[in-house]
Homo-oligomer: A and B are copies of this chain.
Amino acid sequence: MSGYFGAGTRAPESELEIIMSDMPSCQFESRPRRIVIGSGGVQADFCTNCSVRPTSVCSVIEPSDISRLAEVAVETIISPGRGFIEEGAPATDFFNVTSGTVKLFKALPDGRRQITGFAAPGHFLGLAVSDSYAFGAEAIDTVRVCRFSREKMSELLDDFPKLERRLLEEASNELVAAQNQMLLLGRKTARERVASFLLDQMQAGLLPGQPPPSGGRLHLPMTRGDIADYLGLTIETVSRTLSWMRSQGMIEVGKGYAITIVSTAKLEVLAAGNS
């Protein structure tokens, strides 16, 4: 029991780093290649102007203390498909997503994969952690994160008790979501799962800094394969279920990643478990 925000090992990093998707395929590196631009933490006004601060854990830091936050945050850009947390690797850093979408997952030795969640802007990564990461993380589209070393995070927690309570709140929310997902995975049918997913995505789109999805128009950044791995289904079943929902007048499936929710009511009936 070494403490959840104990000593870290990584040295202080520089202002802006970019993790490139430069490998032929999506090979994983536990310590991704970085391109450093500038040095010495983000600019003092960076956090002040941050678009996700109002909805993120950082919101509990008073404006007068913002410089403390900016000192320890390292902004990082991660290109699509690039992994930046490896399941089982030593947990040296925590992250806060500022733009883009991240998929979080666990895998079995033979390659079966379960996506445990999608992290949108404002989401804090690193709660499900002991000494090593309990999950992997990969950028779906271009992602920006603020990175905090474990030791800097620990200092912040010592100095700002409110931050700790806010993280507890965040953990609480994640636990509620996790339990909902267990119910979905253990007891819901394929149709119920997809309906629940679409409603959740709609709900999620209403809250953060993202452009609000008007008229039920969703832009899902993830592939069918990701949705399948999230819902415990196969690609084919997700595809068939979406087609069936279209045939029932519940949704419209646009080209690419667009899905329009036509009848929230019908989906809610489905998601609640009536068929």
Contact = CB atoms under 8 A, between A and B. Distances in A.
A169 B3 contact: yes
A157 interface: yes
A210 to B, nearest CB: 18
A178 interface: yes
B168 A4 contact: yes
A110 interface: yes
A253 to B, nearest CB: 24
B169 A168 contact: no
Contacts of A157: 165
A108 B185 contact: no
A163 to B, nearest CB: 10
Given A128-B175, A164-B165, A174-B175, A181 B182 contact: yes
A123 interface: no
Contact of A114 (B5, B112, B183, B229): B183
A179 B116 contact: yes
Pick the 8 closest A-B CB pairs, nearest first: A186-B232, A178-B178, A185-B185, A171-B171, A128-B175, A108-B273, A114-B183, A114-B186
18 contacts: A3-B169, A4-B172, A106-B183, A108-B187, A109-B273, A113-B187, A114-B183, A128-B172, A128-B179, A129-B172, A130-B173, A134-B176, A164-B164, A171-B172, A178-B178, A178-B182, A185-B185, A185-B186
